[in-house]
Amino acid sequence: MVTREENELITRVEGGAPMGRLIRENSWIPFALSDNLVAGEAPTPVRLLGENFVSWRAPDGRVGFLAEGCPHRQASLLLARVEGNGLRCIYHGWKTDVSGAVVEAPTQLVRHDRFCASIQVSHFPVHEAGNIAWVWLGGQDPPPFPDLPFTTDHGNKTAVTFSALPVNWLQALEGGLDSVHAGILHQSWTRNVIDEKSEAMDEGKATVAFTKIPTYDVGEAPFGMRAASLRKQDDGKTYARVTNFFFPLVIVAATGFVDRYHVFAFAPVDDTNHLLFFGSYGTEPLSQKEFGAVREDFDPDPRNFSTVSGDRSNRWGQDRALMDAGHHSGFSRSVVDEDSVVQVSMGPIVDRSKDNLSGSDGAVANARLLLLEALAAYEKGELPPGSARGPDAVCIPDPYDAVLGPDESWLELRPR
C-alpha cells in the first residue's frame, strides 16, 4: 500500500521535488518527435519538470534547446525570429545560436564580442534516437546516451506518436506496465488484431495474446525492472510477455508480432501534465493505423495524437450509443485515446492510498516500490537503476514473448 506521503514523493517533479531531481540528474528526457522539429519553423515550446524551454532545428540539422527567457531581459524566445542557426529576440535584437552562445547583442556598443562571450546562456544538449529528440537537463557535460533497442544502431526504425496529456506522468507509466488492461479496455481493438492480423503474429500466439487474465512475475535488472505477464491457457501452456522497464521513463514491450515491439517513453511536463511517445519499432515497424489501433477515418495530428475532449460532465466525450452497439469503451478513435481518457478520469494526480491492488497488478506494485527505494537510495548518494551517470554503459535489451510448456520458465528465455 502506498501512503499519501509516498504518493507525493513518486509523483511530484516540480520545484526541486526529489523525483524531479532524480530524473533531471540521471535521465535523458524525451521532448519532441524528430519529425516535428523542422528547420526554418518557429521555435517549439517545451515544458519539462515545471520549467519552460524552447527548441528549434537549425538549417544545418542541429537542434537547439534553451531556457525560454532571452538572456538579456527574459522576453520569451518563442517570439524570436529564426535567423540562420540562431534565434533573434524581437525585443532588443539579441541573437543566440544553436550552440547556446550569444553572437549578437545590439544594445552593447563597447567591447561587443567580449561582452557576448561573457554571457552564460541556459543551453542544454540534445540527442536524437528512435525518431525522438531527448534532452539532458543535468548539466553541460552530458553522459553517454543509453543503448536503447529501438534505434538505428540496432537496425531498427520507429513509428511513434506524440501526445500531450493533462495528467501526472506516473499514471501513464503505470498504464504502460499494466498488461492486464489490454484484453479488457482495448478488447474492441484486440479482437480485430487477433481475428484479422493473426497471420502476422508468431505461430501459436494469435489466440492467446490477450484473451486470458495474467499473473505477474517481476525480476530486477541493472536498467530497472523486467516484468513478465503470464497467461495460463486451457492446454496447460502459458503465454509469457516480458516487458523491460528502463527506469524511470521508458518501457519496451512485446506485441505478439514477429519483429515488432511497443515503445513507450514518458516526459513529466509538470506535476499534472506529461508527454507520451508511443508506437512500435522493428526493422519494419507498423504505424498505429497499420496495427489496427486507429479508426480508419481518424486522421491524427502528428503534433498531438491524442486529445481528451470534455470533462466529467460529458464523460470525456464517451459515445454511449457506440457502447450499446458493441464497442467496449465508447472511445473509437484509437487505442491511445482509451488509455488517455481512463488516466485523465483518475484526476490530475491519483491518490494511490485508496487503491486496492489485485493479483494482476504485480508490475505496478513493484514499479512503485522501485521508485520509492530509488528515491531513498538517491538521497543517500546512490545512483538509481539505469542512471546515465553510472560507471557502466546502460543497455536495454529487446522485450520478448513465448508460449511456454508446463515446465518452462520465462526466466530461461532470452531475447531474439
Question: Domain map of the chain by residue range?
Answer: 29-135, 152-412
pLDDT at position 26, please? 97
Distance CA 59, CA 62 (A): 7
Which residues of the chain have a pLDDT value below 70? 192-211, 414-416
CA dihedral 318, 319, 323, 329 (to 10 degrees): -30
pLDDT at position 393, please? 81
pLDDT at position 106, please? 96
pLDDT averaged over every residue in the chain: 92
pLDDT at position 201, please? 52
What is the architecture of the domain spanning 152-412? Alpha-Beta Complex (3.90)
Give 29-135's CATH code, choosing from 2.102.10.10, 3.30.420.40, 3.50.30.30, 1.20.1740.10: 2.102.10.10
pLDDT tens digits, residue range 125-184?
A: 999 999 999 999 998 789 999 999 999 999 999 999 999 999 999 999 999 999 889 889
pLDDT at position 215, please? 87
pTM for this entry: 0.94
pLDDT at position 308, please? 86
pLDDT at position 179, please? 85
